[in-house]
Every structure is written in structure tokens, then in C-alpha cells.
Chain A
């Protein structure tokens, strides 16, 4: 057992003697928290809307100013032909074009109804839907208002009305950063854990130093654990650092127990590092390791629910997420940080990550060969 201490000592000396290491440890979490969390937002703001008012009546002008009043839209008025309208969307100058046909007000007064044309750039489908829904709400409430004006003030207010007052739990301000930050932390520990440890092992192969170790009676699992521990500790350090940055910079609440978080993150890292070390056990060069690890990481991250809800993926893809470690930790970390979930709220995940990790670890140890 003492062997492992000597191995750890060696790995730590080497890690910190590497000049690139300290910047990686401290700059990476800073950049990820400060750039990614702000950049990776799904919140819809400042949708460019162009209003083509061919009617220029009181009704159309008032509705236009309703749009303008919303912080959701960034409004431009223009007098354009239909062809020019198309151009506007084509070039991307406008996300939404609303056209009031001439005679809009007249139609409304004479026929009790009139049409508006709404063209939405739907390259980003969900953003388009959201813009349209928001426009409909504004138009709807305006509708109610002018109907009341045209028909006169109703004699009585409707006696029965269902009023909906939602109460948003766990993230009451619907702050998207609170949702993103824990997820970005998962990416951070994944990069540290997966890449640093697996590259480190295969580097020994490239340098030839592994041959000298392989002629010693060193135990395979000692060697693998020696490759894991330093990066596990560095990754946990980075997690702490990242959380601190998130707390200080945008006031991320931390409702759970930090120990719960460490337990889950350690289990996760054990799993992810075992995966990485398995890959390096079957590879000969750092290049091979990088390619394979990168491939898995991209797939894992995109399917993890970091950016898009897992629930909206097809069922088979959701089932595939069973083997996606990133999916588990993102869910867990969001629950711990935002909901305050404890170890016993997530026993299933606890068990699963442990078993999965042990399996991968055994595979990595088994596949690491002391023969060439």
C-alpha cells in the first residue's frame, strides 16, 4: 500500500513541475464561468422586429407602440414593399416583420376584423415560436382593449374568472445563469479529469518511461490509482474555485450540502477517469487518446441536457443517456445547488454511479498491460 504513496508523490511532483499546469487549473475555471455562463443563454431578448405600417392609422400606431414598450423586442419602423420585406429577413436584419396592410383600421371598424401579417425567421425554431407567442399575447391584450373601447365599457366585469398566479420554485427569478452555471462546472471537472489523467498515462508510453515501470513488480491498480488521484484532487479544487466564482460574480445560490456535491463529483470523476484511462490503456499516442476522448465528450455533453432538455429528445436517445455520465452529474449538481437535494434524495444515482465507476475501473485495470 505504501507503493501508492510513492507513486502519488511522483505524480504530484510531475504535475506541478509542468509549467502549463497552474494556468490550466486556475484560468480554465475563470474563463468558463465568466464567458460560458453568460454566453450560453437560451433567454430570448432583443428580438429585432421591423414594423411595416402601410395603414398609418391610430389603431396600427398604438399597437406598434405596444410592441415597442416590451423589452423583449428591439423595434424598427420602415415603409417597405413585400419584396424588400423578404430581403430584410433574408439578410437577417430582422427576426420578425409585422405588416399592417393599408385599410387595416377601416376593416376593423367596418367588418369587426382585420388581418396583420407576421413573418418570423424560424431558423431557430424555438426562438421563433417564442417570439410569435409573445407577439400574440401583446396583440391579444390589445384586442381586448379595443373591443372594450369600440363596444363601450362593459356594464359589469365578468363574475367568474380563473386567474393563474404561477409560483416558480427553486429558481424563482427564472435566472438562466443559475441553471447554466452548475452545468458548466460539470464540463470543467470533466475536461480536467478525463483529459489530464488519460493524456498523462499515454505520455508515459510515448516517453518510454512506462517500460521501466512495467519491469517492476508494481501492481496494475496501484499504477492506475496513482494516475487518478492527483487529477481528482485538482478537479475538486477547480469545482470549489468555480463555485466561488459563480457565487461572487452572479450570486449563484448554494442550497445543498457541499459534501454531497463532493461525494457525487468524486464518484463521477472516478467513472470518467476510468473511462479515460481505459482509452489510454488501449492507445499508443496522445493523439489517439485526444481524438477518442473528444468524440465521447462531445456526444456526452450534447446529450447531457446542458443546453437542451433531455425530455425533448426522442425516447431512444433518452434511454441512451443511461450510459452518459455527464447527464447524471449535470442533473445531480443542479439539484444539489438549486434544490438543496441531499445524498438520500438521490440514492439511485449514488448506487448507479458507483457501480458504473467500478465496472469501468476494473476494465481500465484489466486492459492496462504490463507486457508490450
Chain B
């Protein structure tokens, strides 16, 4: 049963989306749209509600209210169809550390129903591209963090989803590894895959086509990095972020 979407409108449509945990409102009426092939950044301090938002978009959390559509599927009733069309890389590394690199590929390819031949071909291709050929039969546990993240990213893309969600994908790695990681992201975006990425590194925000800045569950700014810098009269995203933070006080 293949459920790929022939859908051509915005890949993600969110309108007045709310998530409450008891009396605490983690996401408070956010609205935005993300287009095909776009790199969309979701910025905010820790606890701003980024992870909660991304989890709703991935079908890991049920929204409290508001409208949500991913790849043309509804976020309330078609969560499994959404899952077929997205890739997700969580904040915390969540591949199997006690399986080898290859075994992880085999498992996820199997779950998405990718045929064997295709799986073998793609695995070889990806491992070559990531320079991980030698680690093919090594346990994931023994790999350096930077490699693990590249691996998790490639696995999130293995089934060619329409959109990939990256929740703070480059936390805890050195600037150089982060740079090469972003090269990968660009490459994927060029292939027409939409990237939705959360981060709290402001330099990463510069790499995005558009960014939304979240604070206390609300989106307080949404535009291209250039437009935002003009609007707040500063030359870096760091400056934008600080000004927004000060305006609140």
C-alpha cells in the first residue's frame, strides 16, 4: 500500500495550532505554511515550544486544537499517512546502538517496505557518500557523535519522504562537523525534499530560506533571514534574536 501524496500545495499548513499539557500551554496558536523544497528554520530558546510543535507535525503528539496538515494529510485523523511521508530525526540520537550501521538501514528499510534490491543499492550508495563504508558492520554505539548524526539523517531520508523534520540535529558537535552537516541538508533540499529544522544556533538560522522565531509557545517573527535582519536593523540573526528577546522585556 503506497500512500505517496500527489499533493502540490504547501507541504505543511498549520493554523492556530495549540498544545496544552494540563494548564500549561506549550504551543499557543501558531500558524504558518512551508513550501516544497524549502529549508524552514524553527528558532527559539530552550522551552520555547519547538520540540512540542515538531512532535505534533510528525504525528507523535495529538494537537489540542487548531488545524494541521502535512503532505496533504490531516494531523488528527491521518497520522499514519503522515508518517509514511515524513522523515524524523530526534533531538536525542535514537537509532539502535546495539545494531550495526547496516542492520539499522535494513530494519528501517524493512519497516517502510522498501524492496530488498533497492535497499541494498541505496545503502551502498549512502554509505559511500557518507564515507561510512568501513563502518558498515560496526556497532553504532562505537561511532563518533558526528557520524551518528549523519547516519540518523540519512536514515530519515532513506524512504524518500516529502518532508524531513530535524529536531536540533547538530547539538553537541564541533563547528566543522556542523558545517558539513549543513552541506548535506542543502543537497537534500536541492532534490526537492522539504526540510523543517529546529535549532538554537543562530548561525544555522542564516542557512535557512525562512525562519520562524518562537517564544513562550508563540511565533513572534517569521520571514527570510535577510528581511528579518532589515526589519530589526542588525547584521546577524543573533542580533535579531536578541532584539526580539529585549522587546519582550
A interface residues with partner B (beta carbon < 8 Å) = 2-3, 5-7, 9-10, 13-14, 17-18, 207-218, 370-372
Q: Which residues in chain B, 88-116, are within 8 Å of chain A measured between CB atoms?
A: 88, 90, 92-99, 103, 106-108, 110-113
Q: Output the residue of B81, B86, B92, B111 with the most chain A CB within 10 A.
A: B111
- Chain A residue with Cβ nearest B83: A217
CA distance A9 to B100 in the complex (A): 13
CB pair B107–A10 under 8 Å, yes or no, is yes
CA distance A208 to B60 in the complex (A): 13
Q: What secondary structure prevails in chain A residues at the interface with B?
A: helix
| 16 A-B residue pairings within 8 Å (CB atoms) | A5-B110, A6-B111, A9-B107, A9-B110, A10-B99, A13-B103, A207-B97, A210-B94, A211-B90, A211-B94, A212-B88, A215-B83, A215-B86, A217-B83, A217-B111, A370-B60
- Chain A residue with Cβ nearest B96: A209
Q: Is B80 an interface residue (CB 8 A)?
A: yes
Q: Is B84 an interface residue (CB 8 A)?
A: yes
Q: Is B55 an interface residue (CB 8 A)?
A: yes
CA distance A214 to B61 in the complex (A): 11
Inter-chain contacts of A13 with B (CB < 8 A): 99, 103
Q: Is B169 an interface residue (CB 8 A)?
A: no
Inter-chain contacts of B55 with A (CB < 8 A): 372
CA distance A17 to B87 in the complex (A): 28
Partner of B94, one of A207, A370, A371: A207
Q: Nearest Cβ in chain B — how far from A47, in angstroms?
A: 54
Q: Once A and B bind, how many residue pairs between them come within 8 Å at the CB atom?
A: 76
CB pair B84–A212 under 8 Å, yes or no, is no
CB pair B106–A6 under 8 Å, yes or no, is yes
Q: Nearest Cβ in chain A — how far from B86, in angstroms?
A: 7
Count how many chain B residues have C-beta atoms less than 8 Å from C-beta atoms of the other chain. Answer: 31
CB pair B113–A208 under 8 Å, yes or no, is no
CA distance A166 to B45 in the complex (A): 84
Q: With A10-B103, A209-B95 as given contacts, are A2 and B110 in contact (CB-CB < 8 Å)? A: yes
Inter-chain contacts of B111 with A (CB < 8 A): 3, 6-7, 213, 216-218
Q: Output the residue of A17, A211, A212, A372 with the most chain B CB within 10 A.
A: A212
CB pair B59–A212 under 8 Å, yes or no, is no
CA distance A335 to B103 in the complex (A): 45
CA distance A247 to B80 in the complex (A): 52
Partner of B59, one of A2, A5, A215: A215
Q: Output the residue of B90, B103, B107 with the most chain A CB within 10 A.
A: B107
CB pair A372–B98 under 8 Å, yes or no, is no
- Chain A residue with Cβ nearest B58: A215
Q: Is B62 an interface residue (CB 8 A)?
A: yes
Inter-chain contacts of B106 with A (CB < 8 A): 6, 9
CB pair A371–B61 under 8 Å, yes or no, is yes
CB pair A215–B96 under 8 Å, yes or no, is no
Partner of A208, one of B86, B92, B110: B92
- Chain A residue with Cβ nearest B90: A211
CA distance A18 to B97 in the complex (A): 12
Q: Nearest Cβ in chain A — how far from B144, in angstroms?
A: 19
- Chain B residue with Cβ nearest A4: B110
CB pair A217–B110 under 8 Å, yes or no, is no
Q: Nearest Cβ in chain B — how far from A284, in angstroms?
A: 15
- Chain B residue with Cβ nearest A372: B60
